[in-house]
């Protein structure tokens, strides 16, 4: 077992108690500092919540877990390139330092923020967010001087040959490579950029307006409501049992648990490489289907081997493999 997991800080379950049994697996905790917009809705940082949040981070640092703070909105509006944004980032890191929680890593979608950090906080390691959706080395090369580590785009996660080449490139260039394990998004989701942008604004208010137009930003949800359950199998998530196939190629495995309804279940599954239950319950978002994707039914299933290793996954021809697999795992 390797210490590869990056766990999103969560408040809907006891964080320290959940992480303690898996200290040999957890490498990092990632989080948005109070007052910082990120690619998830922010909790209400009451005095009590803030105290718990700080205590969790201090416990993490005391136990050798790296702190990764997020500036990963896809939209900063008129502030995107501005002294105001630069000074805001600077103030946040100084506030964290005042709490004894100066970050080890900053993950961002913004090359401008990365530039500010390089100049004002040169000791911090800067990570390129998975939300930038860069698919290969050609996209990383122009920003190599800005970023110390990279999250690979989700669309190619299951292609081990591609991942091996990217891993070799990263190591040859002294970079850290990461991937996300439990994305519940549709492969090549056409709404993802639009959806992520909303998190830089008042997404909840805008979603309510959308409802008046019979419009939902969750295209994945509406897609599944139409019965397209095969698309879940075509997505980019990795089963806990399959994770060892990837950990030799990546240094960081991100678990989306910050706003997940079952974060402890997710952590336990990926930390132990084993899960008995509905595989959809581990994903973010955790879709509610009329049947269960029985995780154990994927074991030693030749149809699963064919689907996860499909070389045409990003240009699906609807060959029937996913449909056949669905019959044996959607129960």
| Alpha-carbon gap, residue 87 to 116, rounded angstroms | 9
> Mean pLDDT throughout 66-73?
95
Residue 203's pLDDT band, with cuts at 50, 70 and 90, is low
pLDDT tens digit string along 149-169? 999 988 888 999 999 999 999
Residue 76's pLDDT band, with cuts at 50, 70 and 90, is confident
Here the CATH number for the domain that contains residue 323 is 3.20.20.60
C-beta pairs of 224-229 under 8 Å, 24+ apart in sequence: 224/287, 224/289, 229/289, 229/326, 229/330
The pLDDT of residue 204 is: 64
Six-digit token string for 17: 């108690």
In total, how many domains does the chain have?
1
Average pLDDT of the chain to the nearest whole number: 92
Residue 37's pLDDT band, with cuts at 50, 70 and 90, is confident
Domain that holds residue 178: 5-329
Neighbours of 320 (CB within 10 A): 9
The pLDDT of residue 126 is: 98
Pick 232 or 214 by higher pLDDT: 232
The pLDDT of residue 194 is: 74
Q: In sequence order, what are the residues at sequence separation of 6 or more whose Cβ sits closer than 8 angstroms to the Cβ of residue 139? A: none
> Mean pLDDT throughout 44-67?
96
Is the full-model pTM beyond 0.85? yes
Which candidate, 154, 156, 86, places its Cα nearest to that of 121? 86
In the predicted structure, residue 271 carries a pLDDT above the cut 80: yes
The pLDDT of residue 202 is: 62
């Amino acid at each position: 077992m390797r210490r590869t997991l990056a766990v999103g800080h969560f408040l809907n379950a006891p964080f320290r108690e959940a992480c303690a049994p898996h200290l040999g697996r957890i490498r990092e905790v990632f989080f948005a500092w109070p007052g910082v917009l990120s690619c998830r809705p922010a909790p209400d940082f009451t005095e009590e919540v803030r105290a718990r949040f700080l205590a969790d981070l201090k416990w993490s640092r005391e136990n050798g877990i790296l702190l990764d703070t997020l500036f990963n909105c896809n939209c900063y509006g008129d502030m995107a390139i501005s002294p105001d944004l630069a000074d805001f980032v600077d103030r946040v890191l100084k506030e964290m330092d005042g709490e004894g929680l100066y970050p080890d890593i900053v993950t961002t979608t913004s090359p401008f923020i990365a530039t500010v950090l390089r100049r004002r906080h040169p000791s911090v390691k800067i990570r390129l967010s998975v939300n930038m959706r860069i698919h290969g080395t050609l996209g990383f090369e122009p920003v190599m001087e800005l970023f110390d580590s990279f999250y690979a785009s989700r669309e190619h996660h299951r292609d081990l040959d591609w991942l091996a080449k990217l891993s070799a490139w990263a190591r040859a260039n002294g970079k850290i490579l990461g991937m996300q394990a439990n994305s519940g998004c549709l492969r090549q989701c056409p709404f993802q950029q639009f959806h992520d942008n909303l998190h830089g604004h008042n997404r909840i208010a805008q979603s309510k307006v959308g409802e008046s137009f019979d419009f939902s930003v969750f295209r994945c949800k509406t897609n599944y409501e139409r019965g397209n359950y095969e698309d879940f199998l075509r997505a980019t998530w990795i089963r806990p049992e399959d994770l060892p196939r990837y950990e030799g190629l990546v240094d960081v495995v991100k678990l989306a648990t910050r706003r997940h309804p079952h974060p402890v279940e997710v952590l336990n599954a990926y930390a132990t490489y084993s899960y008995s239950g509905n595989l959809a319950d581990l994903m973010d978002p955790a879709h509610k289907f009329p049947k269960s994707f029985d995780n154990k039914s994927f074991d030693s299933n030749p149809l699963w081997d064919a689907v996860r290793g499909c070389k045409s996954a990003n240009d699906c021809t609807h060959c029937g493999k996913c449909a056949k697999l669905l019959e044996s795992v959607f129960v």
